[in-house]
Amino acid sequence: MKSKLIFGIARSLLLARLGQTLVAAVGVTFSIAMFITLLSFMNGLNDLLDGLILNRTPHVRLYNEIKPSENQPVNASPDFKNGHNFIRSVKSGITRQEIYNSGPIMQTLQQDERVLGVAPKLTAQVFFNEGTIDITGLINGIDVEAESALFNFGDYVTAGSAIDAKNMANSIILGKGLAEILVADIGDVVQVTTVEGERFSLKVVGYFQSGIQEIDKVQSYASIGTTQKLLGKPANYITDIQVKLRDIDQAPALAQEFSRLFATDAEDIQTANAQFETGSSIRSLISYAVGITLLIVAGFGIFNILNMMIYEKMDSIAILKATGFSGGDVNRIFLVIALSIGFFGGMVGLLFGFVFSVIIDNIPFDTAALPTIKTYPINYSPAFYVIGATFSLLTTYLAGFFPARKAGKVDPVEIIRGK
């Protein structure tokens, strides 16, 4: 019964100062709406950038790195065996980029329940011959079907068909920037020269556009068979095994495990893109900071309105306490007022935040640099709405706590005597 009465009194006080109540609620609504919109857009932007870089990057990459041999001849000499030897101008040892037993390794990985898929790869440095000019380029030999399934390769082929690189012998998918330099249309034949001096003719079957211009001016793609032919290597020649995991967070540990198991070098996605992930984290942190700042500003508005209400309602507070309401009851009345403003303002703010996000999500975003993006990116994660609602109630509670405590300490005798 007492709780019902407390809520009734709080409602009466809210309606008595309806204009100020609406101003406070609008402040909370605006803050929450901007908080949701900003977080949704910034995290959508992070997802977009992740898609451009991380979705095209294997979670674990197995390869053989060319590096100096740890066992130098001087260390094997009995005369220097027990000394500290300082060696300068150390050259790389006799190593091969080829991954030994690549076939059995891929079979083992595909049977691992932690692995989502495996895609082989090799690269060939070539010169694209444009008249008397040689343009440096890189041809990535890929399994087109595996690359499309695991790394969305087909989404970045903006003209032609990705599968044609597999179905047509001696074919190539040029980077968009490289195709513009070579003035090569689909169906044209381009001449390439390998580092060994061998010259080949390749038919253009598509354009690839990653959204990163410097990459698109250099890289192109062909089937593994075509690339092996360019290099003069056998059918089992593979330099990279790209692994996509079911859980990306396991990448660092599994990279070390696979490196020991298969006697290769391994690089995980977190190590390869550490700087990029740091940038995404900083952008998210800035979004949270701005959103929380907006909520704090709204909290000060509620604090001021409740303080003014307490000063104006001193007589009412004195009467409540004189008729049997305790200081705790009065405290709860003003806390209910603050939380009511936070709750209703927050709920409307969440709704407006969602509406603003939908509007932004439907604004066209057409750019030649990002052919896979059609509208501005938005992330509709429910976590943002839960965080927004929580901060709305928390901020308004803290804004109402001190005025409510002040109201609870009002001495009715002094108020009535003063009158």
140-186 tens-digit pLDDT: 999 988 888 888 888 888 888 888 888 888 899 998 888 888 888 99
Q: What integer pLDDT is reported at residue 358 of this predicted model?
A: 92
Q: Which amino acid is at 279?
A: G
Q: What integer pLDDT is reported at residue 410 of this predicted model?
A: 66
Model pLDDT for residues 42-76, shown as the tens digit of each residue: 888 877 777 766 677 888 999 887 666 666 666 66
Q: Of the candidates 139, 120, 137, 119, which has an alpha carbon nearest to the alpha carbon of residue 128?
A: 137
Q: Is the pLDDT of residue 217 over 90?
A: no
Q: Is the pLDDT of residue 1 over 50?
A: no
Q: Is the pLDDT of residue 14 over 80?
A: no
State which of 16-20, 23-27, 199-203 shows the largest mean pLDDT.
199-203
Q: What percent of the chain has pLDDT over 90?
A: 14
- The enclosing H or E element of 99 equals none
Mean pLDDT rounded to a whole number for the chain:
81
How large is the average pLDDT for residues 332-348?
Answer: 83
**C-alpha angle 353/357/358, rounded to 5°?**
120
- Of 5-19, 172-186, 257-271, the one with minimum mean pLDDT is 5-19
> Using an 8 Å Cβ cutoff, are 160 and 186 in contact?
yes
Which residue, chain included where needed, has tokens 């000063």?
311
- Of 73-87, 220-234, 375-389, the one with minimum mean pLDDT is 73-87
Which residue, chain included where needed, has tokens 């008397």?
132
Band (pLDDT 50/70/90 cuts) for residue 346 is confident
How large is the average pLDDT for residues 245-259?
Answer: 89
Q: What percent of the chain has pLDDT over 70?
A: 81
Q: What integer pLDDT is reported at residue 157 of this predicted model?
A: 86
Q: Is the pLDDT of residue 94 over 60?
A: no
Q: Is the pLDDT of residue 95 over 70?
A: no
Question: What pTM was computed for the model?
Answer: 0.65
> Using an 8 Å Cβ cutoff, are 234 and 39 in contact?
no
**Residue 181 CB-density burial (10 A; 0-12 exposed, 13-18 middle, 19+ buried):** middle
**More confident of the two residues 307 and 343:** 343
How large is the average pLDDT for residues 300-310?
Answer: 69
Which residue, chain included where needed, has tokens 């260390």?
75
> Using an 8 Å Cβ cutoff, are 291 and 38 in contact?
yes
How many C-beta atoms lie closer than 10 Å to residue 83's C-beta?
Answer: 10
Q: What integer pLDDT is reported at residue 310 of this predicted model?
A: 65
